[in-house]
Structure 1
Amino acid sequence: MPITPANGQTTGTAAMTATDTADEPIMLELVDEDGRTIGTAEKLAAHQAPGQLHRAFSVFLFDEQGRLLLQRRALGKYHSPGVWSNTACGHPYPGEKPFAAAARRTAEELGIAPSLLGEAGTVRYNHPDPESGLVEQEYNHLFVGLVRDAPEPDPEEVGEYAFVTPDELARRHSEAPFSVWFMTVLDAARPAIRELTGTTTGW
């Protein structure tokens, strides 16, 4: 798994100019089953049933003790509010590289820049959310890495965060609601996570 230094200076023109407003809605890249861009769609429209396959990313960051950084999504979010999920996730803007989007969104949500960040493959899934009725039809780029700084989350994005061991994650997952996509992306990222953390069990 190639690991690349991440200094947080990865936002491009698309990231700086796109805003989530009524006048300028966020647009997502629609893709085919091989991940090739075939068009764009407005963010909410892409998630309305039955969903349109679009590009996304998921980030898993670990501290120096090998604990995974989880976040609980803010209660004000329109999609999957109040549930626990991986470190950060989101969608590249049209034309934005997934790596740059992953670093950008981690900074926006948690106020941190990974000290290391590497690609961990892709996974395609179709997950309806029973609470909202929205559908996650995603071609998801996975990233794993290390973080050394304490998070400073944006309260509009993140309700709380926790660093967890594998056992703590299993217990929390059995007791609290998690995002519908969490186990799918975690399972797909496990080989890269084990390489990063130097373990063959646990993660």
Structure 2
Amino acid sequence: MIQEQVIVVDENDVVLGSMEKMEAHRNPVLHRAISVFIVNSEGEWLLQQRALGKYHSNGLWTNTCCSHPQPGESSLDAANRRLAEEMGLKAELTEKFHFIYREPLDNDLTEYELDHVFVGVSNQVPNINTNEVLSYKYIAYDDLKKDIETNPDNYTVWFLKIVDRVNQYLKK
């Protein structure tokens, strides 16, 4: 079985090499990631609930999709690939910002990622990959913020770190 690789980077997003994905999460090594946010024409956010079989943060709500570019793959190509693989969607994606975060996860893993954040608009009905996604929902930002305040443990750590910043870009 081929083990998935991630792109190891420095704080300036300069590629240093590659590493097996689980090793990068067990022995926290900074690596490149992508997060995709889709909104519909009414401005509702498309969230996914991570499948229960995911290796971390399973069952938690998060942005439309997220993953890691493979060695030699651009962040935009990875974002488009994972949007199709996880949610069965296509959209014109625009990178809005990137940031670095380091947070402990369940299963003795740590996220230490330079995350490229993409935003797009789509009114397509998701065709979810049930190996990746348990459920999905559309939600207005104000309702999302209320739920986050009431139930923060229902959301992934990276989503909580960027939800307000993404909203600022969407309001422009």
Q: TM-score, normalised by structure 1?
A: 0.80
How far did 1:177 drift?
1.1
Q: Which amino acid letter does the alignment assign opposite residue 143 of structure 2?
A: E
1:47 maps to what in 2?
25
Moved over 3 A (4+): none
The reply to whether residue 56 of structure 1 matches residue 56 of structure 2 is: no
User: Of the candidates 107, 111, 132, which is equivalent to residue 84 of structure 2?
Assistant: 107
Of 186, 192, 198, 2:169 maps to 192
Aligned pairs for 1:54-203 within 5 A: 54-114=31-91, 116-129=92-105, 131-173=106-148, 174-175=150-151, 177-195=154-172
Helix, strand or coil for the counterpart of 1:103? helix
Q: Could you tell me how far apart the structure 2 residues matched to 1:54 and 1:110 are?
A: 24
> 1: CA distance between counterparts of 2:3 and 2:165?
31
- Of 56-65 and 165-174, more deviation after overlay is shown by 165-174
Number of corresponding residues: 170
Residue 181 of structure 1 aligns to a residue whose secondary structure is helix
* Counterpart in the other structure of 1:28: 6
Shift of 1:159: 0.5
Task: Report the TM-score, using the length of structure 2 for normalisation.
Answer: 0.94
Asked whether the equivalents of residues 123 and 188 of structure 1 are also in contact (C-alpha less than 8 Å), the reply is no
**Aligned 8 A contact 1:122 1:141 in 2:** yes
Distance 1:38 1:187 in 2: 31
Separation in 2 of the partners of 1:109 and 1:82? Answer: 15
CA distance in 2, matches of 1:133, 1:187: 28
RMSD: 1.2
For structure 1, which runs of at least 5 residues remain unmatched after alignment?
1-22, 196-203
User: Whose radius of gyration is greater, 1 or 2?
Assistant: 1
Please list every run of 5 or more consecutive structure 2 residues that lacks an aligned counterpart in the other structure.
none
The answer to whether the 8 A contact 1:73-1:80 is kept is yes
User: Which amino acid is 1:29 matched to?
Assistant: I
- Percent identical among aligned pairs is 39
**Closer, same or farther: CA 83–164 of 1 in aligned 2, 3 Å:** same
